[in-house]
Structure 1
Amino acid sequence: MSDITLTERAARRINEIMASEPDGSMLRISVNGGGCSGFQYAFDVDRTRQNDDLVVEKDGATVLVDEISIQYIEGSVIDFVDDLMGQSFKIENPHATASCGCGTSFAL
């Protein structure tokens, strides 16, 4: 099993977002080709847990990561930041060799 960590701030924000979604909704994080640096993170609301999903839970928040994306973000810390640049989920990925200013794109 992969060790993806969800911070308290991220769990709190996920719970806030899911409060206005249908019951059973979870945050799905996936990695897609593209973006400024080669790969980009995608954040979606999903109500369907696949058999091969990695499930990360903290303080009532649930994050799903598909089997293919796990290899790209394993060992990462998922946080939520609220600063002068705005609010966003931030993934501290130990595999990323470079990232873009947008915060959702990275290179391996």
Structure 2
Amino acid sequence: MTPAEPITVSDSAARRIAAIVAKEGGETRALRVSVEGGGCSGFSYKYDLTGAGEPDDLVIEKDGATVLVDPMSLAYMEGAVIDFVDDLMGQSFQIRNPNAVASCGCGTSFSI
């Protein structure tokens, strides 16, 4: 079954992304989320603020926020939910990835 959206952005993540981009100003218009090799579990998520996407990026727009994901990263993240959590442990973006079979305690590293 293919999800309606390849990647979903939660309401709290959209609000936080929009606030960060507004504060940065200038050319910053979006949050790029990508997957890189490395990390303690094999792959890690990377977050970058950017001004423009690439022609083949997946563009997710929600409540004034824009998230960009490149096609290579999308292959590892399909069906994931990008969330922003603010709790006693702190504030962080978290990705709930149905493709990950294991992840480390830091929450930014995973294996498939």
TM-score past 0.5 threshold: yes
1:10-25 alignment, distance < 5 Å: 10-21=13-24, 22-25=26-29
Q: Which structure 2 residue ranges, 5 or more long, are not aligned? A: none
Q: Aligned equivalents of 2:81 and 2:73: distance in 1?
A: 14
State which of 50, 54, 63 in structure 2 corresponds to 1:50: 54
Q: Aligned equivalents of 1:99 and 1:71: distance in 2?
A: 17
Letter in 2 for 1:54: L
1:69-98: per-residue Cα shift (whole Å, max 9, x none)?
000001001100011221000100000000
8 A contact 2:84–2:92 mirrored in 1: yes
Query: Could you say what the CA RMSD is over the residues aligned between the two structures, in angstroms?
Result: 1.3
TM-score by length of 2: 0.92
Q: Aligned equivalents of 2:18 and 2:65: distance in 1?
A: 6
Q: How many residues align?
A: 108
Residue 79, structure 1, aligned to residue 83, structure 2 = yes
Q: What is the deviation of 1:20?
A: 1.5
Q: Which structure 1 residue ranges, 5 or more long, are not aligned? A: none
